[in-house]
């Protein structure tokens, strides 16, 4: 269970040596409690302190990784029930289910490979493939697994047959596959395959009591990387079971349920499947298996996932500088807005759609939107004028005309006064989708 700052302080040497970079041991203890520092920064920590604090520092939900390299799926490592208390760390992975006897396997592997979508500077994708043992043929199953890992896609081996699982693990050697699943009937055999092949192991049981017992059994068999499936398949069951699992792990530090959760949203109806997947994303599933990854589904689910797993205490921001949109020259329009990521990418996208090359000055307002930054006194005439002068905008463009967002038109007069030197301030449209028409009209004039 997590220790308080005072409890941690009692275990520290209390020398106030400052060698950890913090003025006092008490302040260092508070940083440790907030997970803003690590004990190895203290050169005089005792062996007892290292033992106690090391155990306390372990996340309530174990980290389990599927796959290797840049595309590896990291699950778990979560510490809170509600994202505003801290944040959620590892976004819910989405895995496409494919049968090992499917004639369209190559096309489905390619679809996962090409599912990447860029949104507000982040590259979002379908994360894994679940290969389902339909044929009962270990060689056929292993061949499909080989195709998946060859495409550098993390793989889940969906079978209750230990021999088939073993063939799949060998086919994915060194790629950290996950086996789904061990139950009460095959736990010993599956645990042996997972241990021998360095694979994580999903366990499944109907209900949390049975799942707890199976978790303890598999842990006792020497498997550390466990993923939980309570058997929940409806939205109601998923909300109940996943919430109870998360609460037991995060609030009670109940180790048998302190593992990532896998959910199955597979439906014949794509809309129903998308809705169930959304439930999993919002209610603590670490990985959700689906039947379909149509682009409209991906856009909806990726956007939801990105929003849920963004730190609500830290607005998404882009770097403060002047950006080139297209191939602008000294006569191209100069615009300004704030460094809130969503604002930047929406504005930049609309400028690109206009086909009018522009310079876009992005001012640091701590990631706030235009109106919020203005209301907070951060996007003011004085601050804008200072930024434009300091960033050397007059060296980028051969004119002295600055376009500001329409929502802060009230700043135009005072901004011209603050800029001085013959600068002219033009009020742009309020909404980004009006920019193409505005820019085309301006260029034509």
- Looking at the structure of the chain, the number of domains it has is 3
pLDDT at residue 364 in the model? 95
Looking up residue 375, the CATH number of its domain turns out to be 3.40.50.11600
Specify the length of the chain in residues.
Answer: 445
Residue 342, CB half-sphere, CA atoms under 13 Å: how many?
Answer: 9
Tell whether 281 and 430 lie within a shared domain: no
Does residue 5 sit in helix, strand or coil? helix
CATH at residue 37: 1.10.15.40
The last residue of a domain, from among 41, 57, 73: 57
66, 72, 73, 76 alpha-carbon torsion, rounded to 10°: 80
Tell whether 19 is covered by a domain. Answer: yes
Domain co-membership, 165 together with 274: yes
Tokens standing for 353?
């759609």
Note whether residue 90 is domain-resident.
yes
303 and 402 housed in the same domain: no
Separation between Cα atoms, residue 223 and residue 232, nearest integer Å = 23
pLDDT tens readout for residues 58-75: 788 999 999 999 999 999
* Residues 238 and 304 grouped into a single domain: yes
> Does the structure show a pLDDT above 80 at 36?
no
Give the integer Cα–Cα distance in Å for 56 and 33.
10
55 band by pLDDT with thresholds 50, 70 and 90: low
Q: How far apart are CA 181 and CA 200, in angstroms?
A: 10
Strands 200-204 and 178-182: what pairing? parallel
- Does position 334 have pLDDT exceeding 90, yes or no? yes
Give how far Cα 136 sits from Cα of 108, 132, 157, 160, 324, Å: 21, 10, 13, 10, 56
> Does residue 315 lie within any of the structural domains?
no
Mean pLDDT of the chain: 94
When pLDDT is averaged across residues 273-298 and rounded to a whole number, the result is 98
Residue 36 sits in the same domain as residue 109: no
Give yes or no for a contact between 265 and 277, defined as CB atoms under 8 angstroms apart: yes
Residues 160 and 262 in one domain: yes
| In the chain, % of residues over pLDDT 90 | 83
By the 10 Å C-beta count (0-12 exposed, 13-18 middle, 19+ buried), 391 is classed as middle
Picking from 320, 317, 341, 327, the residue whose alpha carbon sits closest to that of residue 390 is 320
Q: Which helix (H) or strand (E) covers residue 201, if one does?
A: strand 200-204
Q: What is the pLDDT at residue 35?
A: 67
Q: What is the pTM of this model?
A: 0.79
Q: Evaluate if residue 241 carries a pLDDT over 70.
A: yes
What is the widest separation between alpha-carbon atoms in the chain? Answer: 82
Which residue in this structure is represented by tokens 């645990």? Answer: 191
What pLDDT is stored for residue 14 in this prediction? 92
pLDDT per position as a tens digit, 74-88: 999 998 999 888 889
**Residue 261 sits in a domain of what CATH number?**
3.20.20.20
C-alpha distances in Å from residue 428, one per residue of 334, 346, 436? 11, 15, 11
Where in the sequence is the domain holding 412, given as residue range(s)? 321-444
Indicate whether 394 pLDDT > 70: yes
For 104, the token pair is 């369209």
What are the structure tokens assigned to 419, written together?
């800029």
């Amino acid at each position: 269970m997590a220790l308080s700052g005072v409890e941690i302080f009692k275990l520290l040497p209390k020398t106030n040596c400052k060698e950890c970079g913090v003025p006092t041991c008490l302040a260092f203890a508070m940083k440790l409690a907030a997970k803003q520092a690590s004990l190895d920064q203290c050169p005089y920590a005792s062996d007892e302190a290292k033992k106690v604090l090391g155990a306390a520092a372990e996340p309530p939900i174990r980290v389990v990784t599927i796959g290797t390299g840049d595309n590896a799926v990291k699950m778990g490592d979560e510490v809170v029930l509600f994202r505003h208390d801290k944040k959620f760390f590892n976004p819910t992975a989405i895995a496409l289910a494919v049968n090992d006897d499917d004639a369209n396997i190559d096309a489905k592997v390619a679809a996962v490979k090409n599912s990447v979508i860029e949104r507000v500077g982040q590259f979002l994708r379908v994360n894994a493939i679940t290969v389902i043992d339909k044929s009962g043929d270990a060689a056929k199953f292993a061949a499909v697994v080989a195709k998946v890992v060859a495409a550098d896609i993390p793989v889940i081996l969906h079978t209750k047959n230990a021999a088939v699982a073993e063939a799949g693990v060998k086919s994915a050697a060194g790629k950290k596959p996950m086996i789904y699943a061990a139950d009460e009937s095959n736990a010993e055999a599956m645990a042996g395959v997972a241990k021998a092949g360095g694979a994580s192991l999903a366990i499944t049981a109907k209900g949390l009591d049975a799942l707890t017992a199976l978790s303890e059994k598999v842990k006792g068999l020497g498997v550390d990387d466990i993923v939980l499936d309570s058997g929940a398949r409806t939205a109601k069951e998923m909300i109940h079971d996943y919430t109870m699992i998360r609460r037991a792990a995060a609030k009670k530090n109940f180790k048998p349920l302190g593992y990532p959760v896998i959910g199955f949203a597979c439906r014949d109806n794509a809309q129903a499947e998308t809705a169930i997947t959304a439930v999993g994303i919002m209610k603590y599933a670490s990985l959700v298996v689906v039947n379909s990854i149509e682009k409209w589904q991906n856009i909806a689910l990726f956007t939801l996932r990105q929003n849920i797993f963004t730190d609500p205490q830290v607005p998404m921001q882009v770097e403060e500088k002047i950006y080139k949109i297209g191939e602008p020259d000294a006569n191209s329009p100069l615009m300004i807005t704030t460094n809130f990521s969503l604002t930047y990418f929406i504005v930049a996208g609309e400028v690109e759609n206009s086909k009018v090359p522009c310079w876009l000055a992005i001012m640091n307002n701590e990631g706030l939107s235009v109106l919020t930054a203005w209301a907070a006194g951060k996007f003011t005439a004085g601050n804008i004028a200072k930024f434009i002068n300091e960033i050397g905008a007059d060296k980028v463009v051969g004119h002295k005309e600055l376009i500001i967002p329409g929502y802060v038109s009230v700043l135009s007069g005072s901004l011209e006064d603050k800029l001085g030197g013959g600068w002219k301030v033009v009020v742009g449209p309020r909404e980004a989708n009006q920019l193409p028409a505005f820019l085309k009209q301006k260029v034509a004039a």
